[in-house]
Structure 1
Amino acid sequence: MEKPTGFGFPRPPQADPEPDAPITEAAVPEPRPLGDDAELDLSADESATRVAETLASLDAELVGLAPVKRRVREIASLLQVDRARERFGLTSSTPTLHMSFTGGPGTGKTTVAMRMATILHALGYIRTPRVHVVTRDDLVGQFIGHTAPKTKEALARAAGGVLFIDEAYYLFRPDNERDYGQEVIEILLTEMEDEHSDLVVIFAGYPERMATFFSANPGLSSRVPHHIEFHDYDHAELVQIADLMVAEENFRFSEHAREVFAEYLTRRMERPNFSNARSVRNAIERSRLRQARRLVALNRPLRKEDLVTITAEDIYGSSVFAGASSEH
């Protein structure tokens, strides 16, 4: 039996060669297939270490989202096993990894897209871990002949990486016969169908609207095998997210302030336009503004403890506690 080995694959290049650079054969020869009795150690591959680090980072950065993290791990495992199969000379079709991320605002969709790009690059599926984020305005033109150049420019910017289309359902407006969004969808279909294209497209948006979007575009839906749902955070998870955000900025809640912030979240979650982690971050930023105003008004020398502590007073200043109709 042959000795267990790692993959031995060259790492994917970061970018295309310069246009004037001479075209040469691959500098690193393809390793010969392993024998039937050989053993392959998945953990010995350099890329496996990078994937493990990225998954650990995802766990550390994002609270909750267990189903999302599980699906990301499954996709990473699929690509690792495909690489192992290739080392044994086992051929199979390249997996299609276009995705749909559905969920409310502030649920981590963009963050997961960035970590997914890192994983796909580490495993050689894309050439760069870049994520190019676009919306309808970046793709749809205002007049005839304007849409195709805009869409192709976005595809060129995302080439070799991930194209993340936020609020993708706005591309489809059946009530407007003169809308050019359908032209974007047709261009995307062609690009996604190209087997030689090293591009992953991620469509993102609210669940109900995305369901309508895909049902109205069955050709597009058939090219997106991975649908990942991002659920809203519950109250306990939002408090945990707040603790992480405060610590990242070298602040801390006083004991009473943390209790008040939890109460703030209870009230804010009942109001319109709540955006999960995004609303938490905005609330913390406003608390920092009130803290700064309070500290300047003290008109005395400040200690480090003063500068890092967010107090209950800094949170109680929110209009949520004043019964105002909206946040300021």
Structure 2
Amino acid sequence: MDRDRDPFKHIEEEFSSFVGMKRLKQRVKEIYATIVINEKRKELGLTSTKQVLHMLFKGNPGTGKTTVARKLAKIYFDMNLLSKGHFIEAERADLVGEYIGQTAQKTRAIIQKAQGGILFIDEAYSLARGGEKDFGKEAIDTLVKQMEDYGNDFVLILAGYPYEMERFLNLNPGLKSRFPFILDFEDYEVDQLMEIARQMASEREYQLTKEAEWKLRAYLYKQQQETTRNFSNARCVRNIIEHAIRLHAVRLLYKSQVTSEDLILLTGSDLSLDHQ
């Protein structure tokens, strides 16, 4: 690969199927560039700093937080930043025990498992739920300590809704400084969600008819106008496409003759948008 012409070609390739996320791609390029230049500085005996890669992801459901975290595990492995590049997803129940001493043990065990890869904790603010007597605080303290001890071959990514993550950080003043990268995952625009819908259909070798696209676009606009807090972005689109494929199959079973076009086209009648 000729990296002299475009040193970031491999990063562009890894993220090529991602819709939007301009700022995130820029961040990954900055991390990569810093690492490469730090190596060159080290060779010349200049001061070089070790890049800490722990991150906070703030965004609504379906904005790509988990998908990006998985992708980063692969990219960081390719960059030689992580020795294994595996991805471990955890939630409150995986870290918080029911009696004294159990939480620190569970949290340490999961970090041990994540060595060489990425530990991704979604809805991380749930660890701060429950006040002083809750063991969630113990999990946070253990995570912070382990981040110090194992900082070199392990990346911790905490993720969750924007407002709750902000509150979580304010409750734990020591946390913010340990996460050099705080990334905002914005809600997708309708055009981007339509692109995601086409992509999802095409991956499964289906295609939306013009009428189906029109119907879906109108639905997504309505959802965004109403700004329901529960609107789940790309996740909502995926559910619609998967349901449409099932309804399409039911519709075709009633036809005596099925053409190859019938097998590919998802029509407006295949989109059930009432129960999303």
In the superposition, the TM-score normalised over structure 2's length comes to 0.91
The residue identity in structure 1 corresponding to 2:232 is S
How many residue pairs match? The answer is 273
1:111 aligns with 2:67: yes
The 8 Å contact of residues 108 and 146 in structure 2, kept in 1 or not, is answered as: no
Residue 88 of structure 1: CA displacement?
Answer: 3.1
Partner of 1:278: 235
Residue 79 of structure 1: CA displacement?
Answer: 1.4
Cα separation, partners in 2 of 1:149 and 1:305, compared to 1, 3 Å: same
Cα separation, partners in 2 of 1:165 and 1:195, compared to 1, 3 Å: closer
Write the distance in 2 (CA, Å) between the matches of 1:139 and 1:152: 9
1:181 to 133, 136, 156: 136
Write the distance in 2 (CA, Å) between the matches of 1:116 and 1:301: 47
The 8 Å contact of residues 191 and 197 in structure 1, kept in 2 or not, is answered as: no
Write the distance in 1 (CA, Å) between the matches of 2:19 and 2:49: 35
Partner of 1:223: 178
Indicate the SS of the match to 1:61. Answer: coil
Cα separation, partners in 2 of 1:90 and 1:122, compared to 1, 3 Å: farther
Indicate the SS of the match to 2:12. Answer: helix
Larger RCO, structures 1/2 (Cα 8 Å, 6+ apart): 2
Partner of 2:250: 293
Write the distance in 1 (CA, Å) between the matches of 2:209 and 2:91: 40
Write the distance in 1 (CA, Å) between the matches of 2:152 and 2:43: 23
The 8 Å contact of residues 92 and 124 in structure 2, kept in 1 or not, is answered as: yes
Residue 195 of structure 1: CA displacement?
Answer: 6.1
The 8 Å contact of residues 59 and 160 in structure 2, kept in 1 or not, is answered as: yes
Partner of 1:155: 111
Write the distance in 2 (CA, Å) between the matches of 1:259 and 1:186: 50
Write the distance in 1 (CA, Å) between the matches of 2:218 and 2:27: 33
Following superposition of structure 1 onto structure 2, how do residues 236-255 of structure 1 map, counting pairs within 5 Å?
236-255=191-210
CA-to-aligned-CA distance 1:112-135 (integer Å, 9 cap, x gap): 112222222222221121111111
Partner of 1:55: 12
Larger radius of gyration between Structure 1 and Structure 2: 1
1:205 aligns with 2:160: yes
The residue identity in structure 2 corresponding to 1:286 is H
The percent of aligned pairs where both chains have the same amino acid is: 39
Residue 303 of structure 1: CA displacement?
Answer: 2.1
Write the distance in 2 (CA, Å) between the matches of 1:103 and 1:181: 22
Partner of 2:3: 43
Write the distance in 1 (CA, Å) between the matches of 2:212 and 2:82: 46
Name stretches of at least 5 consecutive residues in structure 2 with no aligned partner: none
CA-to-aligned-CA distance 1:285-327 (integer Å, 9 cap, x gap): 11111111100111x1322211111011112x432xxxxxxx2
The 8 Å contact of residues 90 and 122 in structure 2, kept in 1 or not, is answered as: yes
CA-to-aligned-CA distance 1:29-50 (integer Å, 9 cap, x gap): xxxxxxxxxxxxx937xxx98x
Residue 53 of structure 1: CA displacement?
Answer: 2.5
Indicate the SS of the match to 2:254. Answer: helix
1:171 aligns with 2:127: yes
Residue 239 of structure 1: CA displacement?
Answer: 0.8
Residue 196 of structure 1: CA displacement?
Answer: 5.7
In the superposition, the TM-score normalised over structure 1's length comes to 0.78
Write the distance in 1 (CA, Å) between the matches of 2:170 and 2:234: 29
Partner of 2:169: 214
Residue 52 of structure 1: CA displacement?
Answer: 3.1
Write the distance in 2 (CA, Å) between the matches of 1:155 and 1:314: 45
Over aligned residues, Cα RMSD in angstroms? 2.1
The residue identity in structure 2 corresponding to 1:264 is Y
Partner of 1:313: 269
The 8 Å contact of residues 54 and 181 in structure 2, kept in 1 or not, is answered as: yes
The 8 Å contact of residues 95 and 139 in structure 2, kept in 1 or not, is answered as: yes
Q: Which moved more, 1:276-285 or 1:79-88?
A: 79-88
Partner of 2:190: 235
